[in-house]
Amino acid sequence: MKTDDPQYVSILSMNDQGPAPEAAIVRDIIKHGSIVAPILIGASAVFWGVNGAWSSAYGVALVLGNFAFAAWMVSYTARISYALMMGATLFGYIFRLAVIAAAVFFVRNQSWVELVPLCMTIVITHVGLLFWEMRYISLSLAFPGLKPKHVASPTVQDSTSN
Amino acid sequence: MEALTRIAHASIRVAAELTPAEAKANAAAQMAGLAYGLAAIGPGIGIGMIFGKAIEAMARQPESAGMVRTTMFLGVAFTEALALIGFVAFILLKFA
């Protein structure tokens, strides 16, 4: 669309050069995932044996890799253009689903794979980590990603000193 | 149209040659694939809407882009969970 308005900025040229909140969020998710992974792998080992443990570990790795790739793609393309970010993420959704499907299809007949713990781990890890991460998300203009670890308490002015 | 008719006739001929157990397995495989495809449509629409609205919000208020991107990323991840559940259901129905 052509316009004579000097204030007009095309969405194709808009980008974001600031810090990427997705990267911070995904680093935190991976940190939490590394805490949860031994519990999930242990639970799978109890119910399905060694094969269950391997399958569960594979599922956790798939989910964390999926998060990391999604965050990288959003951060990288947002620095170029918002329009590219939209396109890359929509096609990236299909691509990432296809990669996960292929990653499960290719290993499904391997001797170390148990499909039930693998599939359960994928869903539980994905949803569980997201709900856990909700506790650490800050939605404010000052802190657009994670909540700050230490917030200085506001200075209380003594009204009697004036 | 003629090609479709030919494919339909070929499918009927193949189906007629199958045993009942094979036909049942064949139908189950087709339905599982269809279920996964249908399960991926909803999240696809949802993610499109999330991104569309996020881009609109960032264009209107560029200073809130970080906040919008955080919400957008989490929204997309939650929506994607639906597709993953559909995929998992497909895998478990088909192979487990």
What pLDDT, on a 0 to 100 scale, did the predictor assign at position B90? 86
- Kindly provide the ipTM of the predicted complex, given to two decimals: 0.78
Q: What are phi and psi of A36, to 5 degrees?
A: -80, -30
Distance to chain A for B19, nearest Cα, Å: 26
A127 domain-assigned: yes
Which candidate from A90, A115, A144 shows the least CB-CB separation from B91?
Answer: A115
Partner residues linked to B39 by β-bridges: none
Q: Model confidence over A85-137: pLDDT tens digits?
A: 888 888 888 899 999 999 998 998 888 899 999 999 999 999 999 999 888 88
Tokens, residue A107: 């290993």
More confident residue, B57 or B33: B57
Residue type, A56: S
Residue A69: inside a domain: yes
8 Å CB contact of A97 and B59: no
- Tell me the domains of chain B and their CATH numbers: 20-95 (1.20.20.10)
Work out the pLDDT band at A55, boundaries 50, 70, 90: very high
In a domain, A144, yes or no: no
Interface of A with B in 68-97 (CB under 8 A): 70-71, 74, 78, 82-83, 85-86, 89-90, 93-94, 96-97
Closest CA to A60 of A82, A86, A42: A42
| Residue A62, token pair as written in the block | 């798939």
Alpha carbons B23 and B15: distance in angstroms, whole number? 7
Q: Tell me if A50 is assigned to some domain.
A: yes
**Continuous H helices in chain A:** 21-78, 82-107, 115-133
Confidence of residue A50 (pLDDT cuts 50, 70, 90): very high
**Percent of chain A beyond pLDDT 90?**
45
Range of the domain at A108: 19-138
Give a yes or no: residue A112 inside a domain: yes
Residue A134 included in any domain:
yes
A36 pLDDT more than 80: yes
| Helix-then-strand count for chain B, H and E | 3, 0
A37 touches chain B (CB under 8 A): no
Residue B4 CB contacts under 8 Å (≥ 6 apart), including other chains: none
Rounded to the nearest angstrom, the minimum Cα separation between A142 and chain B is 9
Type of residue found at B55: I
- The mean per-residue pLDDT over the stretch B73-77 comes to 90
Inside any domain, residue A108? yes
Give the C-alpha separation, B96 to B94, whole Å: 6
**Could you say which of A18, A19, A104 has the minimum Cβ distance to residue B91?**
A104
Q: Which two tokens stand for residue A108?
A: 């499904």
Please give the C-alpha separations between residue A109 and each of A62, A71, B17, B54, B95, in angstroms, as whole numbers: 17, 31, 29, 41, 10
Number of compact structural domains in chain A: 1
Q: Does residue A98 form part of some domain? A: yes
d(CA A88, CA A157): 50
With an 8 Å Cβ cutoff, are B67 and A141 in contact?
yes
Average pLDDT of B31-51? 87
| A28 touching B (Cβ < 8 Å) | no
Looking at the DSSP bridge assignments, the partners of residue A146 are A137
